[in-house]
Each structure stands twice: as structure tokens, then as C-alpha cells.
Amino acid sequence: MTQDTTSPRGVRLSPDECTLYVSQSDEDTPGKRELRAYPILEHGAIGPCTVLHTFGADHRGPHRGIDGMCLDSEGNIIACAGWRRSGPGPLIYVFSPEGRVLETHPVPADEPTNCAFGDPDLRTLYVTTAEGHLYRVFNTGLRG
């Protein structure tokens, strides 16, 4: 479907099914760590990507990009990214569909890996980490 993605992690379809969100998370330097949006064309092919967000590097090394993600009921992208060895640390990001960072929330364990909304009202966010933790986050103000 794409020739420009080498390390896709999170893949989600927009609520209107017109955009495919893909996290490119090549952790090798100078690999790219980006949140990308690909338009789904009328005939079903994928159009060229738009980079919504780029995860950079600092003196300690490359920032860890998105591992897993989900969407809330407004179409915002909830993403697990970051680690302690560089960048702002392990975080849950809330991106608008256009890629603007709306919120960030620290995760107490390193390397958050995935997230999903659950419980009957879809207002609880479940988050997993590479260290084997599972967090159940109430009262996020978001809904899946």
C-alpha cells in the first residue's frame, strides 16, 4: 500500500474512513518517527502521506515515536509514545486529526505500547507498557 513506511506500529482508520493514520517508528538513527495521514482515494488506493507530527532527537538520542494508538469519539488520535532515555519521557499524546498536540499525559512506567477505550461507556482508557504494566485510567474527559 505504501513504499515510504518501513516500521509501521499503530494503524487506524479515521471515523469517516477517508484517512489512514500510520505511525512510522523507526528507532534507528537517523530513522523517521512520524505520525502520518494517508488519504484513501475513491478507487481504494492510498494517496501520498501528510506528516502530522515528527518526533525529533536530543543530546541523548532519538525520541521514541508512536507504538500504538486509538481514536476517541471526536476523531482525535490517542497515542502511546516516548521513553525515559531521551525526549520528554513516556507519554500519552492526544492529537487533533490535523496533527496538533492537544494534550500530553505522563505514564508512570517506561515505553507505553498501546491504548484502547473500554468499559460500557467507553470513557476508561486502558494503557499497556513494554515493562508489562496495564493501566486503567478513569475520568480522561475522552470517550472512545
121 is an active site residue: no
What does each C-alpha distance from 103 to 31, 78, 119, 122, 141 come to in angstroms? 25, 9, 22, 19, 11
Distance, in Å, from the CA atom of 19 to the CA atom of 6, rounded to the nearest integer, reads: 19
- Rounded Cα distance, 89 and 91, in Å: 6
Q: Are 32 and 26 in contact (CB under 8 A)?
A: yes
Q: Which of 4, 26, 67, 119 is catalytic?
A: 67
CB atoms within 10 A of CB 27: 13
Q: Which residues are catalytic?
A: 67
